[in-house]
Structure 1
Amino acid sequence: MSLECYIKDALPFGHEFEIINLQSIPRETSPITFPKREAEDVNGKTVKTIKTQHFVALCFEEKVVFALEIVVYFSLNSANNGPVERLLFVSKADTNGYCDLRLDIGQITKSIIAYILAISPGHYLRAVKPLIRKALSGAKIIKRSTSVQRALEILSNRPLDSKGITSRVKIPDQDLYVSFPVPTEIVTKVSLFTRAEPQYLFSNSSKNPRKHVLSGDKLLKWWLKIVDQIVVEDFDNKTKATLQIPGEEKRVISNYLRNTAYQNWTVGDIFSESPQDIALYRIPLFPDDPKGRFLDHLISDGRISKVNVLTFWTELQARQEFRLGSTVSVIGVSGKYIGRCNEPERTDIIIPTSKKNFKNLKNYITGEEYDTEEGAEEAYMNIRDIFDMHYSTKMIKVIGNHHKIATTKRPEINTINVINTLSVHRKPKS
């Protein structure tokens, strides 16, 4: 099923929207947790970590109005015969208040997460950019590390085409990427960190009086409802679902779980089996992650190998970014995914040819200033023109099919935010 099929039932009936659906090339990266000796299999092979980023934006009446960023990790051992873990980290989500319709942002967010959960693991694992392309080490190609003298020597030995121009070397895909077998057994995890902020993806959008930022407490409940629905619909009944509020009493945390539909929610996290586990080996590091900054602090203090998970969560609460009176939380899910498994359609996702191109495309949206409606319009026109000129494609059009959402204008649009850091880049200049 396409993203259009997933999201149309969350959009107001009869209204046309457009979707920007970007994905980076899967690439091998550093482990998200500090590796122990146990990270090696019986043959001495180390665990491989594959990382891919998704960025989805929703447009209405030629304006970008909502965006969601998700990072997908696969952890598998290089012998291809051990446990495989897939982790979805919900990185950032934001609205800007420039949509004239009342949107059910919760259902839109849930639909996008469900769509990404349903993407077949083979989609990510059949062509992965390795950390080191060993096949190219002896090839006569020019790389960044190639000296000027060696580059000139390589060029001088290449044949000329019919116009007298030095021919380019065509490198087969099998020399650029590596593939991994599609796993039959996989543990799927979902993780997100919630803290209310004025904006995350749309710079200065908090200056729009129609944008309403949820408080930390309401934001936690909002996300908890979304994740709870996903667990009920797409995971088996043995799935571990957890909520952690650093520094808060267990009794208080449990109160948030009273009205969840899934009955097996617990206080804690999905990363450790025991509070006495050493945090260094259990707590993962994600992009723009306050947990990672705290681990860096523990390294500078010389305590990194001694602090257990219980102490880690307790001390994390004392950090300045947690002491602003707003409720923050870590929500996690770990279990067997039993939902759909789809191979994305070619026309459904734009996959730029490099990490740089992916960032540039995303920055055409996140690099605008959203203090006025003009920013939302500029972002839309930027990405529309780039798609047309460089990718010979258009945004995905979708007609809303949700009858219960009122389509009248209203004075303010709710916004939601996840994680902790706003990172804004200006759009690249043509």
Structure 2
Amino acid sequence: MSGARPQDWNQALRALAQATGDEPAIIVLDEVPWLIEQDHEFEGALQTVWDRFLSAKPLLLILVGSDLTMMEALQQYGRPFFGRAARMTIRPLDLADVAGMTKLPAADAIDALLVTGGFPEIVRSWEPEMDRVGFLRQSLDSPLSPLLAAGELTLLGEFPASTHSRMVLEAVGAGERTFANIAGKVGGVNPLPSGTLAPILANLVGKGVVSAELPLSTKADTRNKRYRVADPYLRFWLTFLRRAIADSERGRPDLALRRIERSWSAWRGRAVEPIIRETLARALPDDRWPDTEEIGGWWNRQNNPEIDLVGADKGPVAGQIHFVGSIKWFDNRLFDRHDYDQLVKDGSFVPGATPETPRIAISRAGFESGVPVDQCWGPEELLGVWAG
């Protein structure tokens, strides 16, 4: 087939079918959502060639795309390729993978996961046993490093600059969590209208880029929805690395590192919460919490109080609250009696919680002796959930 110049996708895919012959083969088509957008005949051509030529051959056809909404739509009833493929979502590396590749202890491996998001290319650039500051100093030195480049390339491909979708995503990445605050951040003096913002947020949630969360309790509450960037790496990139590229290009990566270190502890304290909830959701139910199948948090409109962890039998409206919990993710400060007393006080506001509701605690640095929590988790226990 050397020199062949197919005029359309139908000819191109037929030529590919002929080229494979009868030998086992693997065909990979990347950027499928982009292909669909650019050529509306692609899906029909793929279905026709698959049914007539490719399906009878000993080959594996892999369609790759990062737009979850588009890839899921490809298999919907009424679309040309419906019923002809199995779906597989490729997840980033998990905490145990990151710890294994970086050779870091549990607490530092969680930091590495927050920075890299578990993306293999970025994790691979982390030299074994290198601490976080050393990795950042090395990566910030070049605008072409995987840490800096991956986020920019992802956003350029999915969310072009100056579009409302990009501005909304950047607002969420900057820490705006409520609908009203996002609208104000994007629109400034004239907040973005609800009719414009609502479908944008729905689209970002559908793509898996943004997560929308509701308070978990026995009382329905759909008005206090909170938004966050779903991927840890993209959250880190939007907060710190977007500006760092310009610093690196002009030979001043030290400025970016200084900004990161100045805000690291506060940023990490919020960013680690979804990872801890995901870890507990993977660990539970277990023998101690045999009926706990939903892990979330709870907050009111003022975010005061705000409960880091709520365990329940189901969600978003629970039948029974099994525990409330607090996360203290500091380098050197133990979870102490003051933290416990605050959890007791704040936990009483959660609908469905009672004075007898168990309390759990998560701490990076450890626990003060005698703190009467019902269960405590540290970095090693969290890592063990993924390594087991």
Q: Give the TM-score band, short-chain normalised.
A: under 0.3
Higher helix share: 2
TM-score scaled by length of structure 2: 0.24
Task: Flag the structure with more relative contact order, 1 or 2, with Cα contacts below 8 A and sequence separation at least 6.
Answer: 1
Higher strand share: 1
